[in-house]
């Protein structure tokens, strides 16, 4: 399932309200929305962003944002 690019432009990080970057997998499917300021990655499941902090993963320091 695809993620509408207009939706990703409107979404912000639920913690800092900053912009998010869409990260895609090798087949260009939406994988997660990343907040570079908080170093959190919010998953995209079946084309739906899960914007819950409890579902986000913390990005390790060595992972590029």
Please indicate, yes or no, whether the overall pTM of this predicted structure exceeds 0.75.
Answer: yes
β strands within the chain, DSSP E: 21-24, 30-35, 40-45, 48-49, 57-58
Domain ranges of the chain: 5-58
Give the pLDDT confidence of 4-54 residue by residue, as tens digits: 778 778 999 999 999 999 999 999 999 999 999 999 999 999 889 999 999
The confidence score (pLDDT) of residue 62 equals 87
Assigned architecture for domain 5-58: Single Sheet (2.20)
Residue whose token pair is 């499917």? 29
């Amino acid at each position: 399932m695809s993620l509408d690019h207009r939706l990703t432009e409107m979404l912000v990080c639920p913690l800092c309200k900053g912009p998010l970057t869409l990260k895609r997998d090798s087949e260009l499917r939406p994988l997660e929305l990343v907040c570079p300021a908080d170093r959190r990655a919010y998953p995209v499941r079946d084309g739906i962003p899960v914007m819950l902090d409890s579902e986000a993963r913390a990005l390790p320091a060595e992972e590029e944002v």
